[in-house]
A and B are shown apart, each in its own frame.
Chain A
């Protein structure tokens, strides 16, 4: 079945379109809405967005492939991003990443077999003063300790 937004999200799109002088400017916000609903962006979503905003599918696809946060494949229910960049690494981010990998039994970039968690590394999340840190879905978890990570991952798995 072709992709379509829920009525509620469609109303949100109508609101988004009022913010800009062009339809194209709604491309990234609309892709976020679609991903929120669908989990990732496949060709059906690309077709939908291109129709809705009168854009060539190639334009939409170009945007999707440019940005890190648009998933082009199915991902886990929860996304765990571990910041690996220097300021975090200076405070143990590499050890923390390995700890997560061991605990989840997957490598960075992979999803747990139950489909619950995708573990990824992130490039600087602007949280250098509270390193090491990880982002879980929309939330930042900062100044992490092994005990805190245990708790976060347990909660996600349950």
Chain B
């Protein structure tokens, strides 16, 4: 269901749309925070938030309201809200647009989020490379402080609120929430064992909620509209997947970009209606639906869900391109929705070369803490190298499965799965192409065969 909306994106593209004046004029800026802080109890805010059915926009899709409800007041320790803006999953380019073009939605979302969980400070962890994002957020904080929205008595309420921008220094792993917390505390960004979960012991060993940046930026829109109404904008509201979100598309499409739509958009609509179709009007080859960790789908994949109880049953026998992009719908297709930014490959793209490119990424970004991931990611990449060189044996190809399965479930954080799942996905979907490489019929090795600014080869 293609339904474009503009809750977050209304100020995108306006002159100085990132300034407070535009946010107040176009989005009733900070009026929602005012209403929430001055008329609702903290428990009411959490209960209301649950009705929005906002599934975490960072990739795991955990319901935001439920996460907020895990926060219990501690007798001596303060609580913290931490916002994950360490956007770095290959194929994901949505959070940056919010920080650059609508930073005040983040600040207002933080105010409501802090109030809901009993925190007075929100740390927004932005990856260091995003200099414009950091500058826009700091400016927004300064403007909000000048107006008294942030400070000791926002809207006359005795509830001090502050937002702080913190940056990393280049490490994909810091997008993992516990690794992010270590990095915030000034340590190496190595993930922590869970339990304790952040709600019990997070930032500075205090109760903490970690929300993705897009998740928190959606909060003012949800509360402004009424959380249930907001949820119902989605065509899969009945699957507890509500509201609107940002959809991105990149790779071999004519118009790569980011759009805000109601949840329930399909890949076909994202690629052909919003993305303008495939470059050169070539046939579609494959899609990575939501960031490189989500297993690849083939253009001709069909949904298999004969069980009437499956959330996918309504799409049984249909093309995967026609399934609404939802957390549970995509999980049941053997992949994940992830960050909802799809990478599109046109016919002629070599899947083995894609696999090689991705395995290099995971090899370089493994933090090295757990042996299965540290050694496994290197092993996967070395075999990928041998495949590309044409020196990989059938035995080594089969070892890929063993290594990837050896990582799954055996590491402290989900980076292990994030490496193994796409590896196994490529092996399962493109076994023939992998075997061809082993048998000496190497593929083209080409990723950019399309007419792009850097020349096409097709």
Instruction: Give chain A's interface residues, CB within 8 Å of chain B.
Output: 19-22, 24-29, 31-32, 53, 55, 59, 62-63, 66-70, 81, 84-87, 89-96, 99, 122-132, 135, 138-140, 143-146
Contact = CB atoms under 8 A, between A and B. Distances in A.
Interface in B124-183: 127-132, 164, 166-172, 183
A91 B204 contact: no
A32 B187 CA distance: 14
Contacts of A21: 78, 204
Contact of A25 (B91, B93, B127, B184): B184
A42 B178 CA distance: 28
8 contacts: A24-B186, A29-B166, A89-B448, A95-B448, A95-B454, A128-B91, A128-B248, A128-B251
B454 A139 contact: no
Contacts of A63: 186-188
Interface in B341-385: 341, 343, 345, 349, 354, 357-358, 361, 364-365, 367
Contacts of A93: 448, 454
B256 interface: yes
B447 interface: yes
Contacts of A22: 185-186, 204
Contact of B448 (A92, A99, A140): A92
Nearest to B77: A21
Contacts of A92: 448, 452-455
Contacts of B311: none
A140 B190 CA distance: 28
Classify the interface of chain B: helix, strand, loop or mixed.
loop
A81 B172 CA distance: 16
Nearest to A128: B250
A143 B257 CA distance: 12
B90 A85 contact: yes
Contacts of B204: 20-22, 25
A68 B171 contact: yes
Interface of B: 78, 87-93, 95-96, 127-132, 164, 166-172, 183-190, 204, 248-252, 256-258, 288, 292, 341, 343, 345, 349, 354, 357-358, 361, 364-365, 367, 447-448, 450, 452-455
B343 A19 contact: no
Nearest to A22: B204
Classify the interface of chain A: helix, strand, loop or mixed.
mixed
Closest 10 CB pairs of A and B: A92-B454, A27-B186, A68-B170, A67-B169, A69-B170, A128-B250, A24-B186, A66-B188, A138-B131, A124-B90
Most buried by B among A91, A93, A146: A91
Given A92-B452, A128-B90, 14 more contacts: A20-B164, A22-B185, A22-B186, A81-B129, A84-B357, A86-B91, A87-B90, A87-B343, A90-B447, A92-B453, A124-B361, A127-B93, A128-B251, A132-B454
Contacts of A138: 131
A112 B370 CA distance: 37
B167 A127 contact: no
A124 B88 contact: yes
Contact of A28 (B91, B186, B358, B454): B186
B88 A87 contact: no
B92 A128 contact: yes
B455 A95 contact: yes
Contact of A87 (B91, B184, B364): B91
Nearest to B355: A86
A123 B172 contact: yes
A87 B250 contact: yes
Contacts of B187: 24, 27, 59, 62-63
B345 A129 contact: no
Contacts of A25: 166, 184-186, 204
Most buried by B among A90, A94, A144, A145: A90
B131 A139 contact: yes
B258 A129 contact: yes
